[in-house]
Structure 1
Amino acid sequence: MISERSGQPKLAGLSFGLLGPIKVWSRGEELEVGAPRQRGVLALLLLSEGRQVSIDEIVRALWGLDAPRSAVVTTRTYVSRLRRILTDDEAEIRSAGRGYQLIVDPRTVDLSVFRQTTSAVREARERRLVPEASRLSRDALALWRGPALDGLGGPFFEGRRTWLERLRATAMEDRWALDIEQGNCGEAIAELTLATAAEPYRERLWELLMWAFDRDGRQEDALSAYQRIARLLDDDLGLDPGPGLRRMYARIGTAAGASLA
């Protein structure tokens, strides 16, 4: 099983890691999973969540359009090797039609635990259990060990990595919002300042930064942040701030007695 608190496997059975380099642990000890394409087979089967994956799908994911004639035989070799690694009763790679499916307990896969925990965060927020939601949010993010599917290349895995990183970004935004709701504005301001510098066109980050400044009693800094992102969007992209930013500016500006020119 995966521990939500630490992002590390508990000392029982097999555990699988997709949120970082591809990893397999057996009772807390890391197993050698093989070369990158062999790890890619394991990642694809885990991402499929028990669905049958055809050999053709696996070949396309591993080699794209440039698959060698030996790709099918090589894929079967990778599966055979993975079967020898995954000898625990908790995991089984089954032959299914002209393909395979991996049967595992979702609680042993860090991605499944992450998605389940972020769902619990939303439920806790809906019930206004902010401290509980905040704890769960930090638990979910602690599962990440680096970029998702790290070490796997090619269009298929790049696309899945982009999707997973978006899930992570949303979870980070939720965590900052929860910090601000609880009045933990100092840490949120420091992290959001770095985040807006790294991704200057993500308006949600600026909106959260403005909110954190406002909750911290720094209304002038909040309004200044709005002016910075408005100028950046106009100069670089020819765009106006979106509705979320405008609403935040209007609310803070009205409360501060600012003129909304």
Structure 2
Amino acid sequence: MGISLLGPLQVRRDGRLLRLGHLRQQAVLAVLALGAGRPLGRQELLDDVWGMEPPVANVVPVYIYRLRKALCDGDGPAVIERGPRGYRLVPGAVEVDVARLEELVAGIGKADRAGEPLETVRLCTRALDLFRGEPLAGLPGPLAELERLRLVERRIALVGRKLEWQLRLGQEAEAIAELFALSAAHPLNEPLAAMLMRALYRGGRQADALLVFERARRRLADDLGVPPSGVLRRAHRMILRGAGPGPGPSAGTAAGP
């Protein structure tokens, strides 16, 4: 069985997509999946899914019961177990894409430190292929919101790491195409826009890089009523001067994975 959180929550068993009930119930499953096998008590689940607005009734056991039935799909062993310290997913019973992502990130760091650009790009590609859209899309609760932000930043950092090596390998076109797609999905993300500007500049497309800045500036003004931050302004000045480092984490546009 596989649980995918790097997009709308999905659970597949033997290739079949399972029905998981309404959003709060799905959010309970997401919290258990993010727990990586750690037992979670009832109060912790309430805090993570409902925050400061707890339900009027003790719904956690009810949701756990329904999720057990949905995940077993009428037969097979239980996937959620309860112990003295709370509920957890049975170790080894479920593969979670976020856990796989972290394994790949560790491998990327190792390949990067060893100076293996092709392996770094390959592992970055595999990690980025796990994303199916916005992580935990539509799920309510404080933990889902925090993890959504963290995983989006993780994705951007991976793009930056991949981009850094692609540019060294002369693969500007592939890097720029991926940055355009990600920037369109997150138009208010200034480090991402700066990364795209630097990549375009590095690829000899100075006018396009300046256009990205102008679009980001207008979007920030229209949507948030704020001017560009230092990240965008520094990239803009660097392009206007026709000097400066190439894109990626080493240019200060994104943290490493």
RMSD over aligned Cα atoms: 3.6
1:50 aligns with 2:40: no
1:181 to 168, 179, 185: 168
Query: Is the Cα–Cα contact under 8 Å of residues 48 and 141 in structure 2 kept in the other structure?
Result: yes
2:65 aligned residue: 80
CA contact (8 A) 1:148 1:164 kept: yes
Higher-Rg member (1/2): 1
1:17 Cα deviation from its structure 2 partner: 1.0
Residue 154 (structure 2) aligned to one of 155, 167, 175: 167
Counterpart contact for 2:179–2:196, Cα < 8 Å: yes
Q: Distance in 2 between matches of 1:253 and 1:194?
A: 26
Q: Deviations over 1:141-160 (max 9, x none)?
A: 11111211122123332122
CA-CA distance at 1:57 after TM superposition: 1.4
Match of 1:68 in 2: 55
| Runs of 5+ consecutive residues of structure 1 not aligned to the other structure | 1-13, 256-261
Number of equivalences? 237
Distance 1:37 1:223 in 2: 42
Alpha-carbon distance change, 29 to 200 in structure 1, aligned in 2, over 3 angstroms: closer
Contact 2:120 2:165 in 1 (8 A): yes
What SS does the aligned partner of 1:80 have? helix
Q: TM-score, normalised by structure 2?
A: 0.74
Match of 1:123 among 110, 117, 120: 110
Structure 2 counterpart of 1:78, one-letter code: Y
Residue type of the alignment partner of 1:114: L
Closer/same/farther in 2, CA of residues 243 and 121 from structure 1, 3 Å limit:
farther
- CA distance in structure 1 between the aligned counterparts of 2:90 and 2:174, rounded to whole angstroms: 41
Cα deviation code 1:203-251 (max 9, x no counterpart): 464246425533x3x285599589969x999x95486558985997699
What letter matches 1:82 in structure 2? Answer: L
Distance in 2 of aligned mates of 1:153 and 1:62? 7
CA–CA distance in structure 2, aligned partners of residues 238 and 18 of structure 1 = 32
* Distance change in 2, residues 1:244/1:175 (3 Å): farther
Residue of 101, 105, 108 corresponding to 1:114: 101
Q: Which SS does the other structure have where 2:79 is aligned?
A: strand
Q: State whether residues 42 and 86 of structure 2, in contact with CA within 8 Å, keep that contact through their aligned partners in structure 1.
A: yes
Q: Does the CA contact (< 8 Å) of 1:210 and 1:222 recur in 2?
A: no
How many percent of aligned residue pairs carry the same amino acid? Answer: 28
**Partner Cα distance (1:227, 1:44) in 2:** 38
For 1:102, the equivalent position in structure 2 comes to 89
Tell me which amino acid in the other structure corresponds to 1:202: E
Counterpart of 2:243 in structure 1 is 253
Change (3 A) 1:16 1:236: closer
Q: Give the CA deviation at 1:107.
A: 7.4
Partner of 2:190: 202
Structure 1 residue 36 corresponds to structure 2 residue 26: no
SS at match of 2:137: coil
Name the residue aligned to 2:248: none
SS in 1 for 2:69: helix
Give the whole-Å Cα distance in 1 for the aligned partners of 2:158 and 2:244: 30
Q: Partner letter of residue 13 of structure 2?
A: S
- Matched with 1:4 is none
1:246/1:41 CA distance change after superposition, 3 Å: same
| CA distance in 1: counterparts of 2:237 and 2:108, whole angstroms | 25
CA distance in 1 between counterparts of 2:113 and 2:233 reads 23
In the superposition, the TM-score normalised over structure 1's length comes to: 0.73
